[in-house]
Structure 1
Amino acid sequence: MNKEIVLSNGRFFVNIDKDIAIRDFYFPYVGMYNHLNSQANSIGVWVNGKFRWIDDSWEKSFDYKENSLVAKITATNQDLHIKLEFTSTIHKYSDILIHKVKITNLSSEKQDFKVFFYHCFRLNESEIGNTAYYDPKLKGLIHYKGSTYVYISSEGLDYEYTVAKKNHESGAWKEIESGILSKTKIMQGEIDSGWGVKGELQPLESKEFFYYILVGKKYEEIENLKNKVEKEGLEHLLEETEDYWKSWIKTKDRLIPALSRDLKNQYYRSLLTIKAHFDNEGAVVAANDTSIYKFNKDHYSYLWPRDGAFICMALDNAGYTRLTEKFFKFCKKHITNYGYLLHKYSPDGTAGSSWHPWCDEDENYQLPIQEDETALVVVALYNHYLNSKDVEFIDMMYNGFVRKAANFMVSYTDPKTHLPLESYDLWEERRGVFTYTASTVYAGLVAASKLAVLVGNKEEAVIYKEKAEKIREAILTYLYDEESGRFLRGIYKDKNGNIIKDKTLESSLLLIHEFDVVEAEDYRMINTVKAIEEGLWIKDGIGGLARYENDYYHRVSENTPGNPWIITTLWLANWYTEVGLFDKAFSLLNWVLKRRTQAGLLAEQFDPYTGEPLSVCPLTWSHSSFCYSIQKLNKKLIEQKTPEYV
């Protein structure tokens, strides 16, 4: 179930689904730990003896307040004659989730009502050893286990509560459906809980109340947050958070008037969505949507250094250079002694799960890496310097990260061809020597050379530059196929050392010009783009570009090359921008606008016929790709002073 709303402060993160249920609840890292594991913290409403969970029988809408991470959600039930309006956020720095709820009686009769909030926490990702109890001092429910405490309460109306043993036949959910909570005081093990607010409404009358959740690592932190709520007030905390996010966007706004209001609003929404997925310790996670659990019992709540590099380039271009420093420090801290970054990382810096083996079929040692993940962080770091001009930060990063990564890239090459040695492709599916990966290594070494000059290491700068040029020459020699007139996806070696060409149409080849291997208008690039657009565009459906021919991941139909992705479609838009075909670039950006959810969230990929989001939603990389494409177009229009646009 894709998510409609994400809320975060860089430590506390929640996803809200189409039924206004909290599905993912992360603390103390964005993406770690999920204290719900995709179980639904649902909302139910009781009116004059009738009860309804918020589900598909309700009319719902989802949005955010302009330029903020404050959500606006409505839910209307014609059978109950009730409308709920939520204004929701996580405080900008304190770990407080706030729902301001307005309930309206749509009937001409007086109605007694109760609004119930259900909780089925699996603290620290397990149902074992949980405790929930009513705290009479703090006047709320507390769920706790180990160093995780969750407090639940409300303001503005009378309340009731319960905690219970949870199973398929009984639990707090059953009490909620009955409309009466038993006020059980404590329970342990596999448990759930309910919190209800109650009152009466005259015909067409509205009332407001607050429901809120505090999280901390110990009871004393909950006490401190409760004191903050009582001292400052939930209304104030909500308002100051909205003001903060509006200022966060406004102070960095650099977009020209030529861009439509829709494009600008989506740009701002995408920046905020990226920020929501950026942990305070530096990991920017790919996605926190656990609807992906059904595949391999895993998720996207990891930092892939490649994704992080692309995301941070967009953030740096937008002016958020202080934020991206955290990512680069994270990479510096966790790069191996050998100079490469691992497949992916958990938000706390530990190694993420992987399916890349450390040896081949004959048990010969091999690195289970995607080399682009090391190279692109160096590329992104140089882009960071161009935006920040912070030489001191570069000097700190150079000794602990850049030199390690660059020396690895220099050494990890074939002495005969000068191409990078085998690693996994960016889609994590196959091992070989890929044009895209080689291009990132070329760009990474060029960036390392420039960074070396900045900090006074001229000898190393020469070494990195010379190696980069050898790799570029090798790309043009071995990875451009004269017979087909375009770049290859890659090459492989058989057991006899013979080179096997992979001519599969591959969208990542659209990035070759971005890494300056060739110019965007070079005939080899043009030929490659034409072949990709012809072979990977979804012709009989919603349009958009597939990743590669016969992409199997979430594949809907064998009559298409694969499903359309946001990032691949925008790579094509970027090439159009680079060669001055602005109308086509705008067309693809508007294609993206048609794919967004009500609240402006962008999925990873889409059903090629229905346009329904597939895989995770939102995907942070999709949002950063949109930002990057807008930035590129914005800059190009200014540089060229195109009359109809500027």
Structure 2
Amino acid sequence: MARDLPIGNGNVLINYDAAYNIRDMYYPLVGQENQSSDHLSHFGIWSPEGFFWIDQPEVSKKQMYLEDSLVTNVECVHERLGLSFNIRDGVDVQQNIFLRKMKIENRFDTEREIKLYFHLDLQIYGNGVGDTIYYDPELQSLLFYKGHRYMSLSCYSPDQEKSAPSGYATGQKGIHGLEGTWRDAEDGHLGGNPIAQGSVDGIIEMTLKIPAKSTKEAWFWICFGKTKQEVERLERLLRAAKPQTLLQRTHDHWVKWVNQDPHQLSLLKPDLATFYKRCLLITRTNIDNRGAIIAANDSDILKFAKDTYSYMWPRDGALVSHALDRAGYHDLARKFFDFCIRVLTPEGYLMHKYNPDSSVGSSWHPWVDGQGKKQLAIQEDETALVLYTLWHHHKLAGTLEQSREDYEKFVKPTADFLVHYRDASGLPLPSYDLWEERYGVLAFTVSSVYAGLVAAARFAEFHQDKARAVYYADIAELVKKAAEQQLFAPEQNRFLRALYWSYEENKYIPDYTMDMSMYALFDFGLFELGDPRLIATMQLLKEKLWVHTDIGGIARYENDYYHQVTNDISQVPGNPWFICTLWYAEWLVASAQTVQDLVEAEDLMRWAIKHALPSGVMAEQVQPYTGEPMSVSPLTWSHASYIKVAQEYLSKLKQLTSNSPKSSIDASEDKVLEPVIH
């Protein structure tokens, strides 16, 4: 079930499922230690006329955010029971506290007693072994703990003098046939068991008297800490300041944050501009405060692979940070580059992926090839793209004067690695592709290596390292020349996806599969936009990879097997991906000569909006016949791709509608690489 409406502060991240149940609860790192691990935490309401959980079909819901914020705005109605309620959730921007504000309306003509039930099913440290939950009479809260992780669950109503819950229950679940304490709520009475250990859950109750045709307000919250004392401090702070103060400051913070982007969004049509800001906010939820830009935090994927996307892939992180840099969020990008500097290997390359705490993540890339010889278990583009985007980070942030340490610690080691990790022809040696499926020399990787070496040459020139400036630039030219000679298929007048080394034939074997990642040939500056070979390649990509269903969109590559739903590849070459569709929109924007030329790109941007969830959340891919989200949701890269193409669209629109010189903001939108330094 797709995750939706992520909220967080860089330490705590909360995800919901499609029915607005809490399913993921990350703390103390975004993407590491899912304290709920896909277990469903329930929210329910009892009335004299009946009981329901929020995910029951009779509850109609409209699930959105408040405008320009990371505070949810969920409107719910249960017609038969005469109840409507609004839920606004947020994670405080200063303290590690999840807040829920609820306004519930009694639609009947008589006063009613209404009971609200907030249930938590935690898996502390990501597992349900040895957890403890108990009712703390001093905090008037349920307290969950194990090791150095503590979470309190509390409630409050402005109409009540005391903030104690009217009931609570703790118990075991998932063993001995026990479903959990949430079942105890369905009769409107909790048993009051004060403590449980092992595989446990807990629930609290708040009772409200709501007059006829009236509304009452209720609050719930969860405080996160590494000690009981830390949770106690947060509870005292919250009760003294009142939860409304914290939720209001959280709302105001995000409104201010998202509107500091310097782009002239008023030039965009309102739906495009609104979605741009929503993408910025959703992207921010998947960024840990220590610099890790996490690919996705949807634990539902565990059902398929017993692993997650909760890792920092340097490639994803580089491209996301680049979009953020162009939007003016240089502090976030800076933390990402500091992360990469910390984890860089002594040999000068970055590993497959990393955990948010900087440790190396799981991998399926072998360290030996089919002949038993050592190979590097890396994707070389991940190293090259961090180098490429680091140069643009300093240019956009205006910090080149402060880049000497980066040059010594990261630029020189990575550039030297890229230089030496090449064959006699000048091409990069084989590595794994960006899709993590094949080992070879990929057009995407070659393009990124070229861009990385050009960036290194510019760094060297700036720092008066003249020998290296010339050296890196010359190697970049050799990479380009080798690409022209070996990655172009003259008989088809277009570029190849890849070359694979054959030990039997002692040569490279070409891969003619059309793959949307070949957009990198222009995006990273390897070939000029007007190159007829590039134009022919991009046109063929659209022809071969467009999904011919009512859904449309562009697939990754021909006969994409990942989550494949049909073998009719003539109509559906693969499931449509947001990033692939937006990459083609980038091409259309880059090659546009008139304002009219931008219409198709705008249509593809709207395709992304249409197939996002109503909240604005984009998955990795969508079902080609129904448009339902598939794989993880939200995918950070999807949102960054929209951010970037919208920035480029704005820049091109200004260029085509005005002859005035570019402002500094306009210049920050440019993505084109300058000529290689000689």
The TM tier, using the shorter chain, reads over 0.9
The answer to whether the 8 A contact 1:154-1:197 is kept is yes
The answer to whether the 8 A contact 1:63-1:599 is kept is yes
- Bigger mean CA offset, 22-31 vs 194-203: 194-203
In the superposition, the TM-score normalised over structure 1's length comes to 0.98
Note the 1:453-602 alignment, pairs <5 A. Answer: 453-495=461-503, 496-559=505-568, 560-580=572-592, 581-602=597-618
Name the counterpart of 2:6.
6
The answer to whether the 8 A contact 2:172-2:178 is kept is no
User: 1-side partners of 2:441 and 2:304: how far apart?
Assistant: 28
Alignment equivalent of 1:367, drawn from 366, 370, 376: 376
Specify the SS of the correspondent of 1:631: helix
State the identity as a percent.
Answer: 39
Name the counterpart of 1:312.
321
TM-superposition CA deviations, 1:355-404 (whole Å, max 9, x none)? 10010123211001100000000111111112111024421211111111
User: 1-side partners of 2:486 and 2:389: how far apart?
Assistant: 27
Report the AA paired with residue 436 of structure 1.
F
Note the 1:269-288 alignment, pairs <5 A. Answer: 269-288=278-297
Specify the SS of the correspondent of 1:512: helix
The answer to whether the 8 A contact 1:29-1:348 is kept is yes
User: 1-side partners of 2:402 and 2:307: how far apart?
Assistant: 35
1:250 aligns with 2:263: no
1:641 aligns with 2:657: yes
Name the counterpart of 2:367.
358
Note the 1:66-77 alignment, pairs <5 A. Answer: 66-77=67-78
Report the AA paired with residue 365 of structure 2.
H
Name the counterpart of 1:232.
241
The answer to whether the 8 A contact 1:445-1:465 is kept is yes
The answer to whether the 8 A contact 2:16-2:24 is kept is yes
User: 2-side partners of 1:517 and 1:288: how far apart?
Assistant: 33
Note the 1:127-526 alignment, pairs <5 A. Answer: 127-156=128-157, 159-167=166-174, 168-415=177-424, 417-495=425-503, 496-526=505-535
User: 1-side partners of 2:49 and 2:478: how far apart?
Assistant: 77
User: 1-side partners of 2:212 and 2:7: how far apart?
Assistant: 34
User: 1-side partners of 2:138 and 2:80: how far apart?
Assistant: 39
TM-superposition CA deviations, 1:57-107 (whole Å, max 9, x none)? 310111111111111012211232211211110001210100000011122
Q: Displacement, 1:642?
A: 5.3
Q: Give the gaps of 5 or more residues in structure 2.
A: 660-665, 667-678
- Bigger mean CA offset, 148-157 vs 365-374: 148-157
Q: Displacement, 1:256?
A: 4.2
TM-superposition CA deviations, 1:128-183 (whole Å, max 9, x none)? 11000111111111100001100110111553111112234353122112221122
Q: Displacement, 1:587?
A: 1.1
Report the AA paired with residue 4 of structure 1.
D
Q: Post-superposition, which runs of at least 4 consecutive aligned residues in structure 1 deviate over 4 A?
A: none
TM-superposition CA deviations, 1:589-626 (whole Å, max 9, x none)? 11111111111111110011111111111110000000
Q: Displacement, 1:220?
A: 1.1
Specify the SS of the correspondent of 2:267: coil
User: 2-side partners of 1:151 and 1:624: how far apart?
Assistant: 34
TM-superposition CA deviations, 1:411-456 (whole Å, max 9, x none)? 00002x1100000110000000111111100000001111122223
Report the AA paired with residue 170 of structure 2.
V
Name the counterpart of 2:33.
33
Name the counterpart of 2:52.
52
Across the two proteins, how many residue pairs are aligned to each other? 643
Report the AA paired with residue 22 of structure 1.
I
Report the AA paired with residue 119 of structure 1.
L
Specify the SS of the correspondent of 1:83: strand
- Bigger mean CA offset, 382-391 vs 276-285: 382-391
Name the counterpart of 2:108.
107
- Bigger mean CA offset, 592-601 vs 313-322: 592-601
The answer to whether the 8 A contact 2:266-2:273 is kept is no
The answer to whether the 8 A contact 1:3-1:618 is kept is yes
Report the AA paired with residue 617 of structure 1.
S
Specify the SS of the correspondent of 1:352: coil
User: 1-side partners of 2:655 and 2:20: how far apart?
Assistant: 45
Q: Displacement, 1:335?
A: 0.7
User: 2-side partners of 1:205 and 1:271: how far apart?
Assistant: 38
Report the AA paired with residue 393 of structure 2.
H
TM-superposition CA deviations, 1:537-569 (whole Å, max 9, x none)? 012331110000000111111221001111001
User: 2-side partners of 1:49 and 1:413: how far apart?
Assistant: 73
Report the AA paired with residue 463 of structure 2.
V
Report the AA paired with residue 166 of structure 1.
K
Report the AA paired with residue 481 of structure 1.
A
User: 1-side partners of 2:148 and 2:124: how far apart?
Assistant: 10
The answer to whether the 8 A contact 1:288-1:300 is kept is yes
The answer to whether the 8 A contact 2:265-2:273 is kept is no
User: 1-side partners of 2:647 and 2:223: how far apart?
Assistant: 38
User: 1-side partners of 2:246 and 2:405: how far apart?
Assistant: 37
- Bigger mean CA offset, 171-180 vs 264-273: 171-180
Q: Displacement, 1:253?
A: 3.7
Q: CA RMSD in A?
A: 1.3
The answer to whether the 8 A contact 1:385-1:391 is kept is yes
- Bigger mean CA offset, 82-91 vs 195-204: 195-204
The answer to whether the 8 A contact 2:314-2:350 is kept is yes
User: 2-side partners of 1:403 and 1:551: how far apart?
Assistant: 37
The answer to whether the 8 A contact 2:448-2:520 is kept is no
User: 2-side partners of 1:188 and 1:455: how far apart?
Assistant: 60
Q: Displacement, 1:326?
A: 0.2
Name the counterpart of 1:606.
622
Q: Give the gaps of 5 or more residues in structure 1.
A: none
User: 2-side partners of 1:2 and 1:642: how far apart?
Assistant: 43
Specify the SS of the correspondent of 1:278: coil
User: 2-side partners of 1:122 and 1:529: how far apart?
Assistant: 48
User: 2-side partners of 1:592 and 1:293: how far apart?
Assistant: 26
User: 2-side partners of 1:144 and 1:272: how far apart?
Assistant: 31
User: 2-side partners of 1:600 and 1:540: how far apart?
Assistant: 23
The answer to whether the 8 A contact 2:31-2:311 is kept is yes
Name the counterpart of 2:633.
617
User: 2-side partners of 1:539 and 1:520: how far apart?
Assistant: 27
Specify the SS of the correspondent of 1:132: strand
- Bigger mean CA offset, 391-400 vs 406-415: 391-400
The answer to whether the 8 A contact 2:576-2:624 is kept is yes
In the superposition, the TM-score normalised over structure 2's length comes to 0.93
1:94 aligns with 2:95: yes
Name the counterpart of 2:676.
none
Report the AA paired with residue 538 of structure 2.
V
Q: Displacement, 1:309?
A: 0.5
The answer to whether the 8 A contact 1:255-1:264 is kept is no
TM-superposition CA deviations, 1:194-213 (whole Å, max 9, x none)? 01111222221110011000
